[in-house]
Amino acid sequence: MRILVTGGGGFLGSAICSMLVKRGDQVQSISRQAYPGLETMGISQFRGDLVDKGKIYSAAQGCDAIIHTAAKAGIWGDYSSYYQANVLGTQNIIEVCRELRITKLVYTSSPSVVFSGGDMEGVNESAPYPKRYLTAYPKTKAIAEQMVLNANDENLATVSLRPHLIWGPGDNHLVPRILARAKAGKLRKIGSRDVLVDSVYIDNAASAHILALDRLNFNSPCSGKAYFISNGEPWKLWDLVNEIILAGKGNVVNKTVSVSLAYFMGWLFEIIYTISRKHAEPPMTRFLAKELSTSHWFDISNARNDLGYVPMITIREGLDRLKKALSNH
C-alpha cells in the first residue's frame, strides 16, 4: 500500500512512518520542511503547507490512503491561523482524496474536541461537542473532525482517532515543556484534588493509526466514527508529571495554587496578551487551568472492539524507556 502521511516529520507522524516502512508499505510525507530521519527511512518527502491544495495534490499522487496527523497545536494564538491549518487544511485533504480517488482517510483528532471544562471520567465517544470552547485549537479540531466524519461515504472511508497526551522518547512538545518549566521552577499543582488523566505512549498511538488504516473500508464498523485512544491506565495527573520530571533528573513539583487563582490568572494573561498582541504563549490560560484541574480518562472499549487496539507498552515501561532515552541524550 502507498500511504501519504501529513506531518510525517512530527513526533506522531514519524512514528507512524517508521512502522509503515518496517512492514513494507510505500510511504510519502508532506511537511513544511524536510526531515533527515524520514530521508534515512527512504520516505519520499514533499514540502508544503496544507493550505496549498496543489502541494497536497502532488504529494498524494499514486496513494491509496492518507493518514492526516498534521495540525497547528497549542493553547493560545490567533483563531484564523488555527482555522487555516486545521480546518482549511483538512478540507483540502478531503478534496484531494476525492479528486485522486483515494479511498481511505485516517484523521488525528484530540479528546479536547469534546472537553467542556469539567471532569471527563470514563466517557465514551457519545460525549457531545460543547457549545463553547476556551481556545482555538479544540474548536478548529472539532470542526475538522466533523468534516472528516461527514465525508465518509461509498467512495471515501474515514475514521478519526483522539489520542490523549502522547509522550515518549523523541517527544518535541509535551516532555520538553514539562522539563523546561520544572527546571525554571514555573510548575505548580493546580487545586488539591488528585485528578486522574489518561495518556498514551507514542508506540501505542502510532499502532492505533495503523490498525485503523487496516480495518477501515466502506462497510467496516469504524468507518465514519471517532475513537478515544489511550494507554487505558488512568494515572494521577501530578504523579505522571513528576515521573516524567524524574526521568529527566529534575525536581518534582510540590507547590500548589488554587483552581480559582489559576483560572483568574489565565483570564488576566489572556487579556494582557491580546491587548499587547503578543504571539508567545501565556504562562497560564483559562483552558490550561481547567485542563490541569479536572480528570480526563476515557472508555477505549470501542477502539479495542472495532480496531483491535491493544496498548502494548505500559506507562511504567514507557517511563523506563523515556528515562533511558533522556539519559543517553
Q: Which domains does the chain have, with CATH numbers?
A: 2-249+286-328 (3.40.50.720)
Radius of gyration of the chain (CA): 19
**Residue type present at position 308:** G
To the query of whether residue 137 is one of the catalytic residues in this protein, the response is: yes
Segment (H or E) for 2: strand 2-6
Residue 53: band (very low, low, confident or very high) from pLDDT cuts 50, 70, 90: very high
How much is the average pLDDT of 34-45? 93
Provide the phi-psi class of 126: left if phi over 0, else alpha when psi is between -120 and 50, else beta. Answer: alpha
pLDDT in tens, 115-150: 998 999 999 999 999 999 989 999 999 999 999 999
Phi, psi of 247 (to 5 degrees): -60, -30
Phi, psi of 165 (to 5 degrees): 50, 70
Q: In what order do the strands lie in the sheet with 235-236?
A: 120-123, 296-298, 196-197, 235-236
pLDDT at 277: 81
How much is the average pLDDT of 250-273? 90
Q: What is the DSSP letter of 197?
A: E
C-alpha atoms less than 13 angstroms from C-alpha of 4 in its C-beta half-sphere: 29
Strand 196-197 versus strand 235-236 pairing type: antiparallel
What three-state secondary structure class fits 159?
strand
Residue 68 grid coordinates: 492526516
pLDDT at 156: 97
Catalytic annotation, pick one of 133, 137, 263, 309: 137
Tell whether the model's pLDDT for residue 329 goes beyond 80.
Answer: no
Distance CA 185, CA 173 (A): 18
Distance CA 29, CA 45 (A): 5
